[in-house]
Copies of this chain bind each other. A is one copy, B any other.
Amino acid sequence: MQDYVIGIDIGGTMIKGALFGSDGALVEKRSEETRVDRGRDAVLQNLIALIKSLLTAKGQMLSIGIGVAGVLDPPKEVLLQSPNIKPLEQAPLKKLLNEALQLPVFLENDANAAALGEKWAGAGRELDNFLLITLGTGIGGGFILHGDLWAGENGKAGEIGHMVVATDGILCACGKRGCLEAYSSATAIKRMAQDAVQSGACSSLKNLSRGDFSTIDAEMVHQAALQGDAISIDIFKQMARYLAIGISNVNNLLDIHNFIIGGAASNALEVFRSFLLEEVARQVYAISQSKIKITASQLGNEAGIYGAAYLALKSVKPPDR
């Protein structure tokens, strides 16, 4: 008889979940809006209903893994801080879900869960050491070291987005200046593109946005770059330059070679990969130059549910590799 686990990814907009066989096969997938506006009880009821709808009687349910966008306490029981899921802040999530579901529940930060997902079933399957970097509205990340998650002493490791790459640089959403996130996120790409067209640069973004520059986003800049728009290509060159500094700093610090790019802006990796590799080669020791590999996430926005399922599985039994 097959064993099963459930992997859940709680984000600010959607709760996603899936039932997995212990062999890693995804059996069934569901999602719901998070609806943070309805408050804690409603969010929790939604979450519990979604999990229950995934339970199966075909085999033994082992456990449930949950990735959540925010900072957990070190024993991974309480969500301490979560700007995008405010109603769940300070909620004793592990205890509440244990009681409601009568199954073992394991929590992890969402970027860490995504790194575990890529390790289990994605671009990191064959790698002992890598950093997953998610380029979205913000920039997040998760480390796999020695084949396992390195979550740090508070479980918040991997915050490459808030690495300062330019002293007294651009103001970041976090309140600091010069963070990588302010230079290389989807938000930064959008800002650079809007600034360029507003200051009169000649770019096909003007047509693509039909003159409404507020509709320009990272994906539109990606499309324009694919069509050869010089302004858009230059924007990717700029973001890649700072991302290369971040990646090189990690290589100089930890001497790891593999970097997996996830998040919305990873779609555009083929546009900026060569800029990235060129700049990285300038920034790292000779011995690392030819070894650094930058690849796209294979699981995309499902990395989190895979990783949560893997966490659930390896927390109750040795994982199938």
Q: With A and B bound together, what is the CA distance between A257 and B153 in angstroms?
A: 8
Which one of B81, B145, B256, B288 lies within 8 Å of A287 (CB-CB)? B81
Instruction: Kindly provide the distance from the CB of A286 to the nearest chain B CB, expressed in whole angstroms.
Output: 8
Contact of A129 with B by CB under 8 A: yes
The answer to whether A249 and B164 touch (CB under 8 A), given A71-B285, A159-B285, A254-B143, is yes
Q: Does A282 contact B (CB under 8 A)?
A: yes
The residues of B that contact A283 with a CB separation of less than 8 Å are 164, 176
- Residue A250 CB within 8 A of the other chain: yes
Residue pair B255, A156 in contact (C-beta under 8 Å): yes
Given A145-B150, A150-B145, A282-B176: A163 and B287 interface contact (C-beta under 8 Å): no
> Is there an interface contact between A152 and B256, defined as CB atoms closer than 8 Å?
yes
Is A2 interfacial (CB-CB < 8 Å)? no
Nearest CB on B from A280, distance (A): 11
**Cβ-defined contact, A154 with B287, below 8 A:** yes
Interface CB pairs A-B, < 8 A, 9: A80-B287, A151-B255, A152-B256, A153-B255, A154-B288, A154-B291, A156-B287, A162-B252, A166-B167
